[in-house]
Amino acid sequence: EADIYQTPRYLVIGTGKKITLECSQTMGHDKMYWYQQDPGMELHLIHYSYGVNSTEKGDLSSESTVSRIRTEHFPLTLESARPSHTSQYLCASSESISLFFGPGTRLTVL
Give the footprint of another protein on this chain (CB under 8 A).
Answer: 31, 33, 35, 40-45, 48, 50, 59, 90, 92, 94, 97-104, 106
Task: Compute the least distance from the CB of residue 46 to another protein, in Å.
Answer: 12
For residue 103, is the peptide bond before it cis, meaning its omega torsion is within 30 degrees of 0? no
Task: Compute the least distance from the CB of residue 17 to another protein, in Å.
Answer: 23
- CA Rg, the chain, in Å? 13
Pairing of strands 10-13, 105-109: parallel
Of the two residues 69 and 97, which places its CB atom closer to another protein in the complex?
97
Of the two residues 13 and 43, which places its CB atom closer to another protein in the complex?
43
Burial of 93 (C-beta count, 10 Å sphere; 0-12/13-18/19+): buried
Of the two residues 23 and 78, which places its CB atom closer to another protein in the complex?
23
Task: Compute the least distance from the CB of residue 28 to another protein, in Å.
Answer: 16
Task: Compute the least distance from the CB of residue 39 to another protein, in Å.
Answer: 8
Tell me if 45 sits within 8 A of 52, measured CB to CB. no
Of the two residues 15 and 50, which places its CB atom closer to another protein in the complex?
50
